[in-house]
Structures are given as structure tokens and as C-alpha cells.
A and B are shown apart, each in its own frame.
Chain A
Amino acid sequence: MPERTVVIASRTGLHARPAKIFVEAAARQGTPVRIRVGDGKPVPAHSILAVLSLGATHGTEVTLDADGPDADAALDSLAQLLARDLDADE
């Protein structure tokens, strides 16, 4: 299954506004994407509660995975999002 590993760049971590932006973007993908921290249990990236419960702070390494024909495109766009400081965007 294709995967992308990326470091959370947002200053507040995957919390508050950055978490919301990420979850909304994940929900727009054509394929279900999962996210995990380290060897932890993968959770659906389109659920804000699941994403918050990862407890991913600034600098945490997370891994995204997805299946299907659109997987690579979806993973690339979400990984790019996490690599940006979403607190800085206005």
C-alpha cells in the first residue's frame, strides 16, 4: 500500500485550525486515507476526533497510507499540506 511519511510543520501541531484544514482536505480526496504516528494504529484521516486523538505535535512524524488508483495523488497532496505551517497561512 502506498505510504508517505512527513513531519508536522504547523506550530500548534495537528490541532485546532491545522487539524481542521487537514481533515477537510482528506475528506475531499477520492479515496479513503489513513494516518498513524510511528507504529501506532492507523485512523481515518477524514475524522477530526481520530486525528486529534493521535496527539501529533509540531515535529511529530506521521505516516499516511491509502489504496486504489487515486492513492498516490491523494497522499502527495495531503503530505504537502502537513509539511506546511498551516498556522502561518491566512
Chain B
Amino acid sequence: MNEPPEGRAPVTETSGGVTLRGLGVSPGLAAGPVCRMEDSTRLLDGHWAAAEPHVEAGTAVRALEQASRALAELAERAAEPEARAILEAQSFIAADPLLQESVRANALDGMHAPDAITAACAHHREALVTAGGYFAERAADLDDIRNRAIAAARNLPMSAIPDPGHPFVLVADDLSPADTITLDPATVLAVITEKGGPTSHTAILARARGVPAVVACRGARELRDGTRVAVDGALGEVRTGVGEAEAAEVRWRSAEIRARLRASAGPGRTADGHPVKLLLNIGSAADLDTEVSAEGVGLFRTEFLFLDRRSAPEMDEQVAAYEAVFRALPGDRVVVRTLDAGTDKPLPFLGLPEETNPALGVRGLRVVRARPDVLDTQLDAIAAAARATGVRPWVMAPMVTTVAEVADFARRARSRGIVDVGAMVEVPAAALRASRLLAELDFLSIGTNDLSQYTCAVDRQHGELADLLDPWQPALLRLVAECADAGRRAGKPVGVCGEAAADPLLAPVLAGLGVTSLSMSALSVPAVREALAGRTLAECERAARSALEADDPAEARSRAG
């Protein structure tokens, strides 16, 4: 067997093995036997010896109380604050007096305890879904509470995470927050789910724990317990038919990669020294509190200042927030994005009417049509913070479409003394006109998440169509190339922020296309730095040409490798 490139599992169809493909959402390699998560139908199987209604009612209510206590205990054990908050909320909901009342009433009406619990949870679930928005997001909590309470009523283990007594690769349809939190990285080698997307709970928590994960993996349901698989959480590949010797080799390489990433530092560059700046995506100064070494901030999202306000934040408050970030980064690049809101991310004080299709409506820089005062105040505040700190921030507008829009934005910014003015390329129209935009601007930053959504005409949250949002879609890469070429001709920087920049396999391709900086969350920086350091610029350019010639993401990945 040829030695595979670093960080990649070989893709071969040997000894009857097959390769399943999904979205790699948490990088890393793992190999081991599959252990399937029991699905919730296990709870409804089997005989239920029904008792008198009042006994059933007692059983059902006690089961809810047990579920609530168990969730509270999990919350106490949770290391991550987000995880703790989610579990505390679930525990509190499980103890809700109205929920208990509905369960009791259902049982007294003659339902068995499991049915009484199921019906009560369904009733309250419906009410939350009707409330919409982030209230509806809590509906999934009731599903988990129902499963836990029924398990308690039946004297079954509440967690559906298997415990085979040896390390395993967990395969599930999807994972609830509570299940994801109880994953022990010492025994769960990797996670594979049939459902889920790049921003699902599974993805976020798996990344936080360093457990390799592949989500939206078609065919995962068919994997049987005990099948030995190799998982590549960056490529999104799951291979069966793996022998013990090969599994040992994967484990050894995985340990080696982890050790190297921990030691990673220094500026981003290819093997032959071509620089590609590695920058951070942040939401406030607090996000700069990280051990990871980077070369500045490539995307400072300013929305946090504006969320859930009845009026726009005062100038002074904004200046203070920008100063805090500028002071933390003396001498480094910092790219500030002006407010990215609109009918897609509504802010009450903007006073925008509801729209039937917010993703295609008044959002990003388009808000300036209705509320130029909000942008002007923000630019005033950024300029004031720059003067106060002596930092020279780069400032960019979100969601631009036309040359006239960016010319207007540049005029507003420059008239306030802001020198480096740019825009985010998220709309295909902007990418196609990159050269003309750069005649008005100093830099571009490509937001691949939105650019994917608009290029392939897929809602970013659409789980069933996640494959079309794959940043390796050749059409998306073509638009990135268009922007990078324009930057090269103009001698101006063109960066990428968004999920694509955090993909260690895609980073060399982006560098080869001519992208000059990659901006990502701190966690992703070491792997991207190592990926770039492993290739010369000529190799990156070859990989880029190959990826552009591919007909689909899988072919683009294998050609680029």
C-alpha cells in the first residue's frame, strides 16, 4: 500500500469494504468497532403490565421526576457552560407542574404510564412549536425528556449510549444534547450520525471535545454492531472492512497528529514559505482569550452589540467595545465587519417589515437603504476607537451585490478616516464582479457559508440538502477563484472566512487559488497551519486546478489530495 498523504485515510475498496460519505464536522482519525445507539423505539417495544389508573399515574409522575433529577445531575457534571445551561433547562422543564398534571390526567383517563407520558409531551411540544423561533427549538428537549421518562418508567437505562466495555465508534440516527454531553472521549473513538448538519449540536460538542465526527452520513443506519470501521472526521469518510493491523496504524497516526497539532505555532505559510495569514473569527474581545497563536482577526462580528435592543447602542458603548478588541491586538491585523442584520436576523430597533423570504431580502449592507444612520454611527465609533488606540482597523461591509453599493460604503468609511475598506463576497453577483469591486475597495473577504447558499440555492439550515452546501462544490470554488484572480491582478488581499477556511484539506486548495488569508475559529487554526506547511505553493496550485476541474465535491476532494 502506498503511504497516504498526512492526515488522510486511504480510500480503497479492498476486502469487501465500502466507503460511506457524510460531512466531516470534527477533524481527526479513528478506527474501531461500531456500536449502535439504541433508537427510541426500544422504549415502546415489549409488554407493559398495566395497573390501576391511579397506580399508572403514580408511576408516570415518578418517572418524570427521575428524568428531571438525572438531567440535573448531568448538568452538574457538564464542563462546558453551554452544555450545562441546556441540561439545567431540560431538568427544569421535566419538573414542570403542568407537564406532571397532564401526565397524571392522561393516566387517570386510562392510559398506560408510557402512553400518558408520550401524549403529554406531544401536547406541550405542539404549543412550543406554535410559539415559533427560539421557543420552538426547545421542542426537541421534550422528545428527550419523554424518552428518559419512559425509560425510567420501564426500568431501562436512561442514556441510550451503549456501554460495550471497550472503546467504540458510536453510530446513531442523531444525538440529543444530553447524549452528546455524556460522551466520554476515552471510550467513544468517533461519532457517525445519519442526520445532522455542520452546525448541529453533535458537530459543535464533538469539535469542542476533540472527538472525530461525521454527520449527514447516508448509509450509517446500515452499519452493524462490531463492524470495524476507519473514520476520517475531516474528509467525512467512513470505511468498513478494516483489518486489525490497519486499525492500529490509524490509531498510531491519530495520536501522532494530535501531538503535532498541540505543538503547532507560527505564521501560516506553505512548505516553501509562501505566506497565507491565519486569522480568527471573533464576536467580542472575550474570544481572544485563547492559547492558539494566530496573526490577528479576520472577522470581528459586531452583532453582539446590537442584539435584542430597543434602540441602537450609543456611540460611547460601541467605541468601548471596539477599543477592547483593538487594544488586545496591537500590531496585528483586525478586520471589523459592520452590522450584519436585517430581516434574516431581525433587530427590533431597525423597524424593518417582515418579509416572506428574508434570506433574499433587506439584509447586510442593504439595511443602509432604510437606516443609513445605524451604519454612519457605527463607522464613527470604529474611527473613534481607531484614533484612541492607534490601531488601523480594516473595515468591511457584509452582503454586497453591486459596485454602486461598495462605492457608497467606501465613501462613508473613508470620509471618517478609515483607510482600509473592503467588502464580504457572499452573493454570486459580487464574486462575478470582483475586479470592479476591487477598483473601489482595498480588500475582499469571501463568506463561503452564504456564498454556498446563494450559489447552490439551498437554505443554510436545510439538513436534507447539506451535500449542496459542501464547500468543495466546484461551482463555489470557481467563484472563489474569480475573486482571488481579481485580487492578484489588483495586488489586493482576498481572504476567506466561513467554514471552508477551517477545512484543513481545503486550505491548500484555497491558497492555490490565490487566497491570501484564512479566518476561522481558534480551534481550527493548528490543523490548517499544518496542512499548509505540508505543501509547496506549486503543489497547492496543482491541487486547486484539479479541484476546479472536478464534477462534484467527492471528485474535487480526491483530485486535490
Contacts and interface: CB of A to CB of B under 8 A. Distances in A.
Contact of B134 (A15, A48, A49, A53): A15
B308 A55 contact: no
Given A49-B127, A53-B128, A57-B133, A11 B307 contact: yes
Contact of A47 (B96, B135, B308, B348): B96
A49 B92 CA distance: 10
Contact of B124 (A11, A12, A53, A54): A53
Contact of A48 (B92, B131, B307): B92
Contact of A52 (B97, B138, B309): B138
Given A11-B307, A57-B133, A59-B310, A52 B128 contact: yes
A42 interface: no
Contact of B308 (A13, A20, A46, A54): A13
A55 B92 contact: no
Q: Find the residue from A10, A47, A48, A58 having the highest chain B CB count within 10 A.
A: A48
Nearest to B134: A15
17 contacts: A17-B85, A23-B92, A44-B98, A47-B97, A48-B96, A49-B98, A49-B128, A52-B131, A52-B138, A53-B131, A53-B135, A57-B133, A58-B308, A58-B310, A58-B348, A59-B310, A59-B348
A35 to B, nearest CB: 13
A15 B348 contact: no
B131 A55 contact: yes
A20 B87 CA distance: 13
Interface residues of A, number: 22
B93 interface: yes
Interface string B220-255: 000000000000000000000000000000000000
A27 B130 CA distance: 25
User: Would you list the 3 A-B pairs with minimal beta carbon distance, nearest first?
Assistant: A55-B131, A11-B308, A53-B127
Interface string B89-103: 100110011110000
A81 B347 CA distance: 23
Nearest to B308: A11
Interface string A1-36: 000000000111101110010010000000000000
Contact of B96 (A13, A17, A49, A58): A49
B10 interface: no
Contacts of A58: 308, 310, 348
Contacts of A57: 133, 308
**Chain A interface, DSSP helix/strand/loop, else mixed:** loop
A15 to B, nearest CB: 6
B132 interface: yes
Contacts of A49: 93, 96, 98-99, 124, 127-128
A48 B133 contact: no
Contacts of B93: 48-49
A50 interface: yes
Nearest to B307: A11
Interface string A50-90: 10111101110000000000000000000000000000000
Contacts of B128: 49, 52-53
Interface in B261-282: none
Interface in B286-331: 307-310
Contacts of A13: 134, 308
B376 to A, nearest CB: 24
Contacts of A53: 124, 127-128, 130-131, 135
A4 B244 CA distance: 70
Q: Find the residue from A20, A44, A46, A52 having the highest chain B CB count within 10 A.
A: A52
Contacts of B92: 20, 23, 48
A11 B309 contact: yes
Contacts of A52: 128, 131, 135, 138
Interface in B112-130: 124, 127-128, 130
B141 to A, nearest CB: 10
Given A47-B98, A57-B133, 20 more contacts: A10-B308, A11-B308, A12-B308, A16-B85, A20-B89, A23-B92, A47-B96, A47-B99, A49-B96, A49-B98, A49-B127, A49-B128, A52-B128, A52-B131, A52-B135, A53-B131, A53-B135, A58-B308, A58-B348, A59-B310
Contacts of A11: 307-309
Contacts of B85: 16-17
A50 B308 contact: no
Interface in B53-94: 85, 88-89, 92-93
Nearest to A47: B98
A19 to B, nearest CB: 9
A12 B138 CA distance: 14
Contact of A55 (B97, B133, B348): B133
Nearest to B120: A49
Contacts of A20: 88-89, 92
Contact of B98 (A10, A50, A54, A55): A50
Contacts of A48: 92-93, 96
A44 B99 CA distance: 12
B135 A55 contact: yes
Contacts of B96: 47-49
A15 B307 CA distance: 15
A84 to B, nearest CB: 14
